[in-house]
Amino acid sequence: MSPSFGRGAMTNSIPDVANADVIMVCGGNPAENHPGVARFINMAREKGGIVISVDPRYTRTSVLSDIYAPIRPGTDIVFFNALVNYILTNKKYFEPYVKNYTNASYLLKPEFGFKDGYFSGWDDAKKKYDYASWQYQTGPDGAPLTDPTLQNPDCVFQRMIKFYARYTPALVEKVTGMKQDLFLKIAAAYSATGVPDKSGTLLYAMGLTQHTKGVQNIRAFAIVQLLLGNMGLPGGGVNAMRGEANVQGSTDAGLLFGNLPGYLAAPSAAAHPNLKTYLEKITVKNSFAENSPKFAVSLLKAWWGDKAQPENDFCFDYLPKFSRPHSFMDIFDDMYAGKIQGLLLWGMNPLVSGPNFEKTAQGLEKLDWMMGIDLFESETHRFWKRPGANPKDIKTEVFLLPAASMVEKDGSATNTSRWLQMRYRSVDPIGDCKEDGAVMYMLVQELKKLYAADANAVYPGPILDLTWGYGGEHYNADEVFKEMNGWDVKTKQQLPGFATLKADGSTTSGSWIYCGMYPPAGNLAKRRKPDKQGIGLNLEWGWAWPMNRRILYNRASCDLDGKPFSDKKYLVHWDAAGKKWTGIDVPDFIGTRAPSDPLGAAPFIMVPYGLGRLFAPGGMTSDGPFPEHYEPMESPVKNAMGSVQNNPLAVTYKSDRDKWAKTGGDEFPYICTTYRVAEHYQTGNITRKLLTTTEAMPETFLEIDPELAKAKGIKNGEYVEVSSARGKIKVKAFVTPRLQPMVIDGKKCHVVGIPWNYGFFGEDPAGLANTVTSANMLTPQAGDPNVRIPEYKAFMVNVRRA
């Protein structure tokens, strides 16, 4: 989403789903994984909304749909791109929006092109792109040249018409297995939102992201939304439903390997040798991100306090610099290669959640030590006792610290709607369990002591100089949020918002996007006033980043003059008399910038020149400025688009445990996908330890269509062996008509599916029997080149009676 709109977050909110006229659920299963969303889907339907469910399986979400269409796992781009083609060919786009609020009119360099499966600039020897041609033609001031009439053959719009023409309804049927007439029915229903008084939304989750082209899947639909003018409206947007309660909060706080807090780029050794270069590179001219240096310096001030001074680059050298990506898969590949000595596992169960179970397990065996901090002992903590392992041969020393549960600690969760909500300890932790904040506090204090005591310590500054208060051992969550918001260094006053941050070291902010949540008035994430009358914005319930804006890019709901395109979809407008933007939502815009001002009609404020990107320039999406379909790493068919089978930049690894099924081979002929069930939370380390949830969904199962079951002599509820090139498991079969065989390129294909919530330790039958039933015994380590998310959702298996 970031390459399309400027920010990577869900644009609208969960309650806002109720405002949609058409809801496309594709690559997500909110009824099972985000059941709270189901309520708002039901509300939207009662108001006349239409729900489209696109999924390889008829799921518990599909029950709520008006149109259901099956799709082969890993072919979403074909479906979305055909939707784009349909919108372009049938002129269903919202023209004023496309012309004024997207980069449709920008002229591309004539040398940009696409041929034989590659975009221009492909270097077959180096296996990478030269991005020089993926650029706009620019004028003397550096601004892109445009053709407002959209007629110039080099403008983005005309290039799109050419690029997308290949994605026909016939191709959809051939590649995805979705029948043409069904596709056309969906295309008609969804593109009907390309008018001012209608909005459509996409609800998605890991079904779109966990692919070797995960980022392009989202890009593909983001383009649909820009063409239909569905961004910045109530009931519109691109809405990523996060996998757990605080995923948004953790990435906001810098959890992702490529980010510092607030999505500032993590510095790299090669690109950012010093603060000056770093600040230059994160400054994006002609967008709000030209303020990035203020955010970065305030972050350094928050972390290293008075030690961070202009003379020492505000301690920029204290930040670790990466030399290559350290994503989840990279870490475990390194571990398998014996390059990692110790592992701190904080509330994580990677043996169950990571791809290629056996490679993960054997990697863990090469560690000297592992420390887990968790509610319960997990499969990962006892990897050395897993079936087939010989504890005598494993030297890893394993420690486990008992953690307090969510009801035993204070803190906050930032939900998928970007809402920060404080929550409170209701009972004291039992036994020796400690709050995560207290454990972290003590850990850092101990490190500080060790570094201080060691005269030969290597580079002790980053630890010794780290500001570290937060109420000490009696850790106080409120103190953490005070720091994340930031204060004026001189007056110690909390800051009212990120507009007041400075690059001179006079302000602090631990995460600039949270600046404004803890102004002098107090912690706004404590607010609890529900929105009973309005459209569900809930402005006084918790606090949403940025600056309590509930629907991002809401300037785009107005025309060039700042008047709403439709009263039915009203959010904000330009108050000419008061000379400011105002409305029922907080304007996601510079409050006093008039529509007639420079960039006054450029709603995507984080993007240079403020227009939504139909074309993503310069390699910001490394594998293509437009989304192109490539087959999953393992597939039953050759790529119908051309000779390039897989994403040419897909991430793969080269250990002896990275094995692959042959394309279209007989050994592993069935497509497999993985998912979760409503009854279990993630790896089940909580829910499989509790009998109440285990009772409701006790065992994993392989869902199989009745035709395949018949052919293989498999009966419902009986055991089957599922195998891939990586491993095999024995699980029960769930023969269900909710899966149906599909015809792909003239060949009958069967899709099977398995939940990944199960392992080998818990109150569930497999857990009690110490039997591995992890779906990730089967999955490969392959990833998206932009974010390195693993391809859990499409791979090949074989199935037989066990």
Partner 1 sequence: MARLAYLFDSSKCVGCHGCQIACKQWNQEKATRTTFNGSYQNPPALSPDTRTIMRFYENFEQDTIPQLNILKVQCYHCGEPACVKACPSGALSKTDKGITAVDPSKCIACGYCHSACPFTVPAIGKHVNKCDMCLSRTEHGDDKQKTSTPACVKTCPAGALEFGDRDALVAKAHKRVEWLKSRGHKDANLYGEKVLGGLGVMSVLKYPPASYGLPPNPTMPLELFVWKDLFNPMGLLMLVGAVGAAAGHYLLALRQSRDDHHHHGGDESKGKEEMKG
- Can you give the binding site for partner 1, defined by CB under 8 A? 31-32, 35-36, 38-39, 42-43, 46, 58, 60-64, 66, 68, 678-679, 690-701, 706, 716-717, 732, 734-738, 740, 763, 765
| Cβ 393 vs Cβ 704: under 8 Å | no
Residue number with CB closer to partner 1 (64 or 84)? 64
Residue 25 Cβ, how far from partner 1 at the closest point, in Å? 12
Residue number with CB closer to partner 1 (61 or 414)? 61
Residue number with CB closer to partner 1 (735 or 752)? 735
| Cβ 724 vs Cβ 792: under 8 Å | no
Read off the tokens for 167.
Answer: 């994605």
φ, ψ dihedrals at 50, nearest 5°: -110, 135
Residue number with CB closer to partner 1 (40 or 295)? 40
Q: 114 forms bridges with which residues in the sheet?
A: 119
φ, ψ dihedrals at 312, nearest 5°: -105, 30
Residue number with CB closer to partner 1 (300 or 720)? 720
Residue number with CB closer to partner 1 (192 or 690)? 690
Residue 704 Cβ, how far from partner 1 at the closest point, in Å? 11
Residue number with CB closer to partner 1 (454 or 695)? 695
The helix/strand/coil state of 423 is strand
Cis previous bond, 648, omega within 30? no
Pairing of strands 200-204, 238-240: parallel
Residue 51 Cβ, how far from partner 1 at the closest point, in Å? 10
The type of residue at 427 is V
Task: For residues 682 and 676, give the distance between their C-alpha atoms in angstroms, rounded to a whole number.
Answer: 7
Residue 342 Cβ, how far from partner 1 at the closest point, in Å? 38
Residue number with CB closer to partner 1 (399 or 424)? 424
| Cβ 294 vs Cβ 288: under 8 Å | no
Q: How far is CA 64 from CA 35, 40, 675, in A?
A: 12, 11, 19
Residue 520 Cβ, how far from partner 1 at the closest point, in Å? 33
Of 441, 23, 332, residue with least CA distance to 192: 23
Residue number with CB closer to partner 1 (615 or 701)? 701
Report DSSP letters for 18-78, one per residue.
GG-SEEEEES--HHHH-HHHHHHHHHHHHTT-EEEEE-SS--TTGGG-SEEE---TT-HHH
Give the position of tokens 């050395």.
384
Residue number with CB closer to partner 1 (734 or 792)? 734
Which residues contact residue 659 at a Cβ distance below 8 angstroms, ignoring those fewer than 6 apart?
A: 725, 726
Residue 698 Cβ, how far from partner 1 at the closest point, in Å? 5
User: Where would I find the beta strands (DSSP E) of 509-605?
Assistant: 543-544, 572-575, 580-583
Q: How far is CA 248 from CA 537, 563, 595, in A?
A: 18, 32, 32
Residue number with CB closer to partner 1 (263 or 419)? 419
How many residues does this entry show for the chain? 802
Sign of CA dihedral 604, 606, 607, 612: negative
Most distant CA atoms of the chain, gap in Å: 79
Residue number with CB closer to partner 1 (757 or 781)? 757
| Cβ 247 vs Cβ 210: under 8 Å | no
Task: For residues 4 and 78, give the distance between their C-alpha atoms in angstroms, rounded to a whole number.
Answer: 19
Residue 637 Cβ, how far from partner 1 at the closest point, in Å? 24
| Cβ 542 vs Cβ 421: under 8 Å | yes
Q: What is the DSSP letter of 270?
A: T
